[in-house]
């Protein structure tokens, strides 16, 4: 009969009786995993966008001054 009482004590434990440090560690771990997944998603997205933009470039993109709208006569004068 004593063994049944010991078995019941082990079964009656609930997650609320866990150590507070363990719960905090679990929260920190899940937060870290979420941040790592977000960082990886941002990195992969930026890499895919840059590759897409590289494939869709025009002949004008090969020139060094392509897209400049500023006056090129700066410093030229009397």
Has residue 45 been placed in a domain? yes
DSSP letter string over 12-27? Answer: T--GGGS-HHHHHHHH
Has residue 28 been placed in a domain? yes
Has residue 77 been placed in a domain? no
Has residue 14 been placed in a domain? no
Domain span holding position 48: 20-56
The pTM score is 0.51
Q: C-alpha distances in angstroms, 30 versus 11, 26, 40, 48, 71?
A: 27, 6, 15, 27, 54
How much is the pLDDT for 67?
A: 57
**Distance in angstroms between the alpha carbons of the first and the last residue of the chain:** 109
Q: Is the pLDDT of residue 78 over 70?
A: no
Has residue 78 been placed in a domain? no
Residue 56 DSSP one-character state: T
> Average pLDDT over the chain, rounded to whole?
76
Q: Is the pLDDT of residue 50 over 70?
A: yes
How confident is residue 58, by pLDDT bands cut at 50, 70 and 90?
confident
Has residue 5 been placed in a domain? no
């Amino acid at each position: 009969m004593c063994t049944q009482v010991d078995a019941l004590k082990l079964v009656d434990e609930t997650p609320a009786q866990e150590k507070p440090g363990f719960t905090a560690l679990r929260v920190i771990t899940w937060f870290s995993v979420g941040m790592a997944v977000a960082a990886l998603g941002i990195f992969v997205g930026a890499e895919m966008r840059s590759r897409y933009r590289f494939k869709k470039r025009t002949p004008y993109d090969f020139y060094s001054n392509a897209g400049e709208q500023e006056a090129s006569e700066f410093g030229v004068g009397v």
